């Protein structure tokens, strides 16, 4: 097979050495797609000797399944030849003499010689790069699987945390109800005795005006019983997972005061409620009531231990910027110095072993933060303790 005339045209010794010393493969094909030159790097890459490759169509270096497509692309290129740099979209699979598939990246540069148009192809073996890319791709897939698994684990953990919190909230609520039950009989039995007496009196009373008076008393005390049961039921019912409500904190405070006082069976604590009209918040009403009951009940317990002094609980509710703020101040013994940061920890308590499990304030904080609120202890208010609770004003445009 003859030496291509093109090689003779560029046969300066230095130029020949430079082309053969190039680290990348260099192939030159004529207009018809026949190979007229291949440097040593390309010959080594594909496993051919020069006399085996020169004169062959370039498709000899292309897998059989891709030969027709490559021929079509080559003819299309010849109609509008232009330089094409290596890069994205210039990756191909080549085939070696022994049938090995070699991934390559190709750059094309058309040119003119006295024998006609040629195309110079610069060829780089990217087998190693592709292997690295495939390993990276596998690592990425594995990493994505690990992330997905971890995300599922976190989701399951969050669901479990919410489930446990709901159980703790309900358990704390029922603990309050346990003490409330012992005192609720007085709240219901007293008006029941009056109702019974009035009903018996009506049977023997002929005076219609007295009958009406007795009937009015019966209605009044029945309403009182119904209100007591309503407050107890609202506090006792378990929370739902959805359907948040617009809550008036002033109404919640009034209901919480009644529940807290009844749960401790005390009438020797003065409670002052200073409430101004405030916007509503978005929450579960029974959980907000639980927050307030816990704080008020703690204040009543602390104030009841004030060595014979009359205890006082002051509750204020006002609107500040985008917050509804509730302050609950008591005249009790206060929080010991150094324990301010621990009072919201689970199972931390300053009470006796039979007076609580130390979950009340922990649950209070969990509920408050769940609704985007804040709770903190103010130690600069004098004797006793002041808890300040802030809830964001409800965005009623989203209802």
Report the pLDDT value the prediction gives residue 350, as an integer from 0 to 100: 57
Do the Cβ atoms of 377 and 339 come closer than 8 Å?
no
Helix (H) or strand (E) holding 388: strand 386-392
* pLDDT band at residue 42 using 50, 70 and 90 as cut-offs: very high
Asked if 5-125 and 240-399 have one fold, the answer is: no
CA 229 to chain centre: 39
Looking at every residue in the chain, the average pLDDT score rounds to 80
CATH code of domain 5-125: 3.30.450.20
Do the Cβ atoms of 245 and 281 come closer than 8 Å?
no
- pLDDT by residue (tens digit) across 83-92? 888 766 678 8
- Architecture of the domain delimited by 240-399: 2-Layer Sandwich (3.30)
Structure tokens at 213: 């008076």
Who has greater pLDDT, 230 or 31?
A: 31
Query: 53-57 long-range contacts, Cβ below 8 Å, gap at least 24?
Result: 54/1, 54/4, 55/1, 57/32, 57/33
Question: Which parts of 99-240 are beta strand (E)?
Answer: 101-113, 116-125
Cα separations in angstroms, 396 against 179, 245, 276, 279, 390: 37, 11, 20, 10, 18
Report the pLDDT value the prediction gives residue 326, as an integer from 0 to 100: 94
Residue 191 has pLDDT above 50, yes or no: yes
The pTM of the full predicted model, rounded to 2 decimals, is: 0.46
How does 174-201 read in b/e, with b if 16+ C-beta sit within 10 Å? eebeeebeeebeebeeebeebbeebeee
Helix (H) or strand (E) holding 340: none
Report the pLDDT value the prediction gives residue 349, as an integer from 0 to 100: 62
- For the chain, the domains span 5-125, 240-399
Do the Cβ atoms of 70 and 62 come closer than 8 Å?
yes
Three-class secondary structure of residue 205 per DSSP: coil
- pLDDT by residue (tens digit) across 100-152? 999 999 999 998 888 888 999 999 999 998 899 899 999 999 999 999 999 99
Three-class secondary structure of residue 20 per DSSP: helix
Report the pLDDT value the prediction gives residue 282, as an integer from 0 to 100: 92
Report the pLDDT value the prediction gives residue 234, as an integer from 0 to 100: 58
Report the pLDDT value the prediction gives residue 80, as an integer from 0 to 100: 84
- pLDDT by residue (tens digit) across 116-125? 889 999 999 9
For 206, other C-beta atoms within 10 Å of its C-beta total 6
- pLDDT by residue (tens digit) across 231-254? 556 555 555 545 688 999 999 998
């Amino acid at each position: 097979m003859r030496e291509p005339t093109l090689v003779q045209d560029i046969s300066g010794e230095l130029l020949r050495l430079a082309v053969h010393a190039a680290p990348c493969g260099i192939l030159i094909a004529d207009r018809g797609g026949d190979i007229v030159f291949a440097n040593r790097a390309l010959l080594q890459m594909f496993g051919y000797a020069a006399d085996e490759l020169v004169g062959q169509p370039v498709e000899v270096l292309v897998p059989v399944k891709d030969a027709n497509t490559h021929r079509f692309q080559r003819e299309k290129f010849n109609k509008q030849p232009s330089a094409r740099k290596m890069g994205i979209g210039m990756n191909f699979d080549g085939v070696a003499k022994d049938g090995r598939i070699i991934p390559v990246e190709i750059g094309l540069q058309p040119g003119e010689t006295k024998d006609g148009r040629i195309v110079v192809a610069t060829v780089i073996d990217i087998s190693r790069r592709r292997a690295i890319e495939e390993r990276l791709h596998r690592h990425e897939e594995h990493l994505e699987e690990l992330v997905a698994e971890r995300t599922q684990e976190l989701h399951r953990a969050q669901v479990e945390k919410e489930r446990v919190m709901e159980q703790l909230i309900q358990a704390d609520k029922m603990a309050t109800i346990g003490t409330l039950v012992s005192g609720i009989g007085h709240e219901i039995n007293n008006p029941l005795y009056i109702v019974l007496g009035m009903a018996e009196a009506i049977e023997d009373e002929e005076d219609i005006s007295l009958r009406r008076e007795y009937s009015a008393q019966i209605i009044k005390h029945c309403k009182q019983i119904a209100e007591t049961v309503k407050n107890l039921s609202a506090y006792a019912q378990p929370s739902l997972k959805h359907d948040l409500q617009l809550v008036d904190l002033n109404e919640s405070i009034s209901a919480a005061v009644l529940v807290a006082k009844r749960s401790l069976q005390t009438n020797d604590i003065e409670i002052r409620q200073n409430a101004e009209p405030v916007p509503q918040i978005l929450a579960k009403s029974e959980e907000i009531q639980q927050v307030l009951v816990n704080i008020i009940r703690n204040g009543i317990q602390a104030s009841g231990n004030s060595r014979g002094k009359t205890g006082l609980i002051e509750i204020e509710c006002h609107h500040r910027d985008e917050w509804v703020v509730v302050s609950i101040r008591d005249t009790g013994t206060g929080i010991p110095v150094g324990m301010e940061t621990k009072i919201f920890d689970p199972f931390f308590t300053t009470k006796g072993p039979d007076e609580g499990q130390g979950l009340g304030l922990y649950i209070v904080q969990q509920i408050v933060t769940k609704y985007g609120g804040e709770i903190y202890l103010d130690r600069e208010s004098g004797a006793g303790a002041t808890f300040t609770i802030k809830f964001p004003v409800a965005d009623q445009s989203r209802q």
